[in-house]
Structure 1
Amino acid sequence: MRVPRAVYVLALGIFAMVTSEFVLAGLMPQMAAGLGATVPQIGYLITAFAVAMSVGGPFLTVGVMRLRQKRALAVLFGVFLVGNVLAAVASDYGTMLVARIITGIASQAFFGVALSVCAQLTPPEARGRAIAVAMNGLMLGTLLGLPMSTLIGEHLGWRAAFWAIAALTVGAAVCTAFGVPRLERADAGGGLRQELGAFRSPRLWLALSTSTLIIGATFSVFSYFNPILTEVTGFGTGTVPLLLVAYGAATVVGNTVVGRLADRHTVAVLFCGLVLNLGFLTGFALLAHVPVPAVVFMMGIGLVGVTMNPAMVTRVQRAGNARALVNTVHSSFITLGVIVGSLVGGMVISAYGLRAPIWLGAGLAALGIVSLVPELGWRRQRRRTSLAVAGGAGVAGAGTGAGTSAPAPGAACVTPTAGP
């Protein structure tokens, strides 16, 4: 089944959001000089963006729930645009901090509403593929958005990078206005109380925790690829950007493959992805000092790390629902994984050296595998129950037809409804 064109339009919006999220990583020295701050202080702006996403995003989602989905997206584009324009004209660190908080909150809410729109536009059996298309905006933000914004910042100044993102935001908003059909309100089918009712499900919380562990395992090493590849593996600083582009290409490939499998084999994809990532992380930790294996394992992490997003989203939507609030809270748990992986990764580097965050990632991947065990048990129990029901129906059917040479015309319709 073909993915609706509107999903590709939503991917453009996600691309704009992710490019803004990553832009600081490539412009730290220039921004530090322009704002009279230190490089570590600019790094704190990345943390502020992530915290704003994780904490503030769900509240903004609640605020736009009474709007139709398309209008909610327009409002979120507007808030996001304000944040980026404020960043472009910021004259001091405090203003930039406010700008990053605004863009972080709007970005998270946009993810939630956009994924809800994807769910409305596609039937349940095709949602994994649609989510993969939308999430390619995230992958391409890593592959293209970061180097493009860095290139603009280096040649035209860091403010020009934010103006470019603002222009991209306007373009994405216009495409959304014309390319996404009119849909129901974000809270259609129930108010806030019903939305919150989904969070009573233990399976939903377990699915959310698995997502945090998957992303935490990946970002514990992704956040420190540069120093690991230069100081441990021995690559030159000019080679690392090329390796990161190759890593980004691997995420695009992995996301596409996972999207095609996520609908029918959701938990199996997550389990296999975590097992493979555990192997790649362990191999990288052991052989980070050998260039060829290090690159191979790095590419492997790209294939099965953040690329689990389509399966993660599909699992969460099935455990809760496909509405905006559940999707936004899920995005918050994903962002929590980014925070945990990067923050704790930095702490273990100080104590144990540059291989430590790789081992941390392996440990988080192992915990992710453990977190899937109850889900596998539930699925096994559900399979037994369905087999028992089918077996009971078969016995009842056999009894109904006993002593006759042929079933009555209505018997085949009546018999399956008989229970043990």
Structure 2
Amino acid sequence: MPPAVYVLGLAIFAQGTSELMLAGLVPEMAADLHVSIPEAGLLISAFAIGMLVGAPVLAAATLRLPRRTALLSFMAVFALSHVAGALTSSYAVVFATRVVGAFVYAGFWAVAAATAIGLVPVTARARAMSVVAGGLTVATIVGLSAGTFIGQHLGWRAAFWAVAALSALAAAGVLATIPGGRPEGDSPSLAGELRALADARLWLSCLMTALATSALLVSFSYLSAMLVETTGLDAAWVPAVLGLYGVGALAGITVGGRVADARPFPLLYAGVAGLVVTSAALALTAGVAAAAVPLVGLLGAFGFATNPALNTRVFALAKGAPTFAAAMNVASFNVGITVGPWLGGAAIDAGLGYPSVAWIGAALGVAALGSVALAAHGQARGAFHAGPGRPEAAGRP
């Protein structure tokens, strides 16, 4: 595996830490910026909005640029957005910097995925993507807890400065390891990539991803506030519990990665159903620490177990459009990241309490199960009607 692939994983870790750490900083940011908890929670949605828009826009805008140039440009803007956020006392400015940072982070994701795949043989593509995406998993375990710890002890601005410094380090690695120019024979066509996206199964897969992600994020976004206000934990314990969530996420994505290629739909059924049950259990036991804390770990496990299957299906259905497949994948995840916190914040504003967000997660999970069933039914019909020797006859997407 080329060192550049690990550098891309480090860059995703740096940027993913920024994406995730706000879940542990919502109370501190709300107090410092003089806004409500739901308003501070919307900063998570702001990041998702930036990624949702940035993925397709920057995938198109940088399709013919040298990949190293595009990656370095994205990281420079990302680091500067965090410097600006750390220096301001305005909620509106922080909101804007979250959108800008996420916008270029989405572009980085799309280009990094295409770059990693282009640096390795066909037989090592899945492994390369697991290394790149593994940066986000490590961010879930280490970055989330470390960012929360730094924010609680040195202020949330210090966490922003730390992300900016780590991003600068990763950018230096990109400069040193990613080849300049474009690979020989690589002349992507925007029209060609767009044509490859005209597949209803691909859009159904995107809906599945958005629903499953929102089912997880509606609870995750308010975990820190729920643990303190409803469960009754001391704020000092929140980083440790969020670390447990990260350990569960690592376990889930590891198991999912080993199962997804051979049995994608059984994995999706099991993962989403587990998320529904865990969310409902968390809603019922949020006031009991002995029950709520382990359920946080299970939430991460089931929520991340489905990721390999969701990622694999999108790329399999859009083989002729790798850059746009990556962009659509990022956008779909971030539709869920946007909708989840928004629905949770609306429930809290309505006075329904923090357990209500977990009930919303369970309901969204049921909807996600429906989309999985629809996709599985469509694939089964395609396999049944496929002629001998065609890919569909083997049950492949």
Distance in 1, matches of 2:198 and 2:184, equals 20
1:355-370 alignment, distance < 5 Å: 355-370=355-370
- Point out the more displaced range, 320-329 or 208-217: 320-329
- Aligned position for 1:371: 371
Maintained 8 Å contact 1:131/1:310? no
Encode CA deviations 1:31-79: one digit per residue, 9 max, x unaligned: 5676x64355544443322212212332122221111223221221122
For the aligned residue pairs, the C-alpha RMSD in angstroms reads: 3.0
Mapping of 1:201-240 within 5 angstroms?
201-240=199-238
Q: For the Cα contact (< 8 Å) 1:67–1:185, is it kept in 2?
A: no
From 166, 169, 172, give the equivalent of 2:170.
172
Counterpart CA distance in 2 for 1:376 and 1:31 is 43
Equivalent residues in 2 for 1:173-322 (5 A)? Answer: 173-181=171-179, 184=182, 188-321=186-319
Count of paired positions: 387
- The structure 1 residue matched to 2:57, chosen from 52, 56, 59, is 59
CA shift, 1:93, in A, is 4.5
TM-aligned CA deviation for residue 17 of structure 1 = 0.9
Change (3 A) 1:324 1:186: farther
- Report what 2:392 is aligned to: none
Residue 117 of structure 1 aligns with an amino acid whose one-letter code is T
1:333 maps to amino acid: S
> What whole-Å deviation, never above 9, does each CA across 1:178-224 have from its counterpart, x for those lacking one?
33445747994542112222331101100100000111111111122
Say whether residues 1:113 and 2:111 are aligned partners: yes
**Residue identity in the other structure for 1:175:** G
**Where in structure 2 are there 5+ consecutive unaligned residues?**
390-397
Cα offset, 1:18, TM superposition:
1.6
How far, CA to CA, are the matches of 1:235 and 1:302 in structure 2?
A: 19
Deviation at 1:9, TM superposition (A): 1.7
Other-structure match for 1:407:
none
Instruction: State how far apart, in whole Å, the 2-side matches of 1:188 and 1:303 are.
Output: 38
Residue 336 of structure 2 corresponds to which residue in structure 1?
A: 337
3-state SS of 2:197 partner: helix
Q: Distance in 2 between matches of 1:53 and 1:195?
A: 20
Q: Extract unaligned runs of 5+ from structure 1.
A: 391-420
* 2:209–2:333 contact (8 Å) kept in structure 1: yes
Cα deviations by residue, 1:380-406 (Å, 9 ceiling, x for unpaired): 2344356x626xxxxxxxxxxxxxxxx
Calculate the TM-score normalised by the size of structure 2: 0.85
- Closer, same or farther: CA 341–155 of 1 in aligned 2, 3 Å: closer
Q: For 1:250-298, what per-residue CA distance to the aligned partner results, in whole angstroms no more than 9, with x for missing partners?
A: 1112112222222333333222211222222233333444443433332
Give the distance between the partners of 1:292 and 1:14, measured in 2 at CA: 34
Distance apart, 1:154 and its partner CA? 4.9
User: Residue in 1 aligned with 2:17?
Assistant: 19
> Structure 1 CA distance, aligned partners of 2:206 and 2:153?
41
Question: In structure 2, how many angstroms separate the alpha carbons of the residues matched to 1:186 and 1:109?
Answer: 22
Letter in 1 for 2:355: R
Aligned residue for 1:200, secondary structure, equals coil
Partner Cα distance (1:221, 1:91) in 2 = 28
Judged with a 3 Å threshold, the aligned counterparts in structure 2 of structure 1 residues 94 and 366 are, in CA distance, closer, same or farther, namely closer
Say if 2:74 is the partner of 1:76: yes
Selected match of 1:38 from 10, 35, 38: 35
Structure 2: which amino acid aligns with 1:366? V
Q: More deviation in 139-148 or 355-364?
A: 139-148
Distance 2:335 2:343 in 1: 12
The alpha-carbon distance between structure 1 residues 332 and 389, as it changes in their structure 2 partners (threshold 3 A), is closer
For 1:91-130, list aligned pairs within 5 A: 92-122=90-120, 126-130=124-128
2: distance between equivalents of 1:160 and 1:284? 32
Counterpart contact for 2:47–2:98, Cα < 8 Å: yes
User: What is the one-letter code of the residue matched to 1:200?
Assistant: A
Residue identity matched to 2:250: V
What residue in structure 1 maps to residue 326 of structure 2? 327
AA aligned opposite 2:360: L
Match of 1:10 in 2: 8
